[in-house]
C-alpha cells in the first residue's frame, strides 16, 4: 500500500506535492489535474458521458480546480485524501494508491 511520507498543499502555486519513501522525487499534482481526475461517481459519469442528467448540469462537476482557502484537504483514515473545492464539491476520495498511479502518468 502506498502512503506518502510528506504531504504539501501549496495554495499559492496551486499544487499538491506527495513524497513517497521509495521514490527519489516527489509527485507533483496541479489542482486542475486533481479536479479533472476526481474519482467520485458524479465526475465519473460526466467523464464517461453516461449521465442522463448531464444536460442539466453541463460539466459543472469538472471545472478548473480551486480549493477553498481553509482546510482545503483532509486525511481520510490513513489511506486517502479528501479535497474541498471552492465550489463546494468534496465527494471525491483520492486514495494514495490512486494518487501514486496518477503521479506516474
Ligand atoms: Zn467529483
Q: What is the pLDDT of residue 54?
A: 58
Q: How far is the CA of 43 from the centre of ligand 1 (A)?
A: 4
Q: What is the pTM of this model?
A: 0.85
Please give the residue range of the domain that contains residue 83.
Answer: 4-104
Q: How far is the CA of 24 from the centre of ligand 1 (A)?
A: 30
Q: What is the pLDDT of residue 104?
A: 77
Q: What is the pLDDT of residue 50?
A: 67
Q: How far is the CA of 47 from the centre of ligand 1 (A)?
A: 10
Based on the structure, what is the number of domains in the chain? 1
Q: How far is the CA of 12 from the centre of ligand 1 (A)?
A: 22
Q: How far is the CA of 25 from the centre of ligand 1 (A)?
A: 28
Q: How far is the CA of 7 from the centre of ligand 1 (A)?
A: 21
**What CATH number should be reported for the domain holding residue 93?**
3.30.2020.30
pLDDT tens across the length of the chain (105 residues): 789 999 999 999 999 999 999 999 999 999 999 998 999 988 888 788 766 665 555 566 566 788 988 899 999 999 999 999 988 899 999 999 999 999 875
Q: How far is the CA of 1 from the centre of ligand 1 (A)?
A: 23
- The 10 Å CB-count burial string (b at 16+, else e) for 13-41 is ebbbbbebeeeeebbebebebbbebbeee
Q: How far is the CA of 91 from the centre of ligand 1 (A)?
A: 6
Amino acid at each position: 500500500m502506498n502512503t506518502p511520507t510528506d504531504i504539501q498543499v501549496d495554495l499559492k502555486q496551486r499544487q499538491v506535492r506527495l513524497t513517497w519513501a521509495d521514490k527519489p522525487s516527489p509527485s507533483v499534482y496541479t489542482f486542475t489535474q486533481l479536479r479533472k481526475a476526481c474519482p467520485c461517481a458524479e465526475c465519473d459519469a460526466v467523464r464517461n458521458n453516461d449521465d442522463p442528467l448531464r444536460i442539466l448540469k453541463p460539466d459543472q462537476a469538472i471545472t478548473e480546480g480551486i480549493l477553498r482557502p481553509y482546510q482545503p484537504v483532509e486525511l481520510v483514515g490513513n489511506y486517502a485524501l479528501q479535497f474541498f473545492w471552492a465550489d463546494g464539491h468534496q465527494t471525491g476520495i483520492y486514495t494514495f494508491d490512486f494518487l501514486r498511479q496518477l503521479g506516474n502518468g
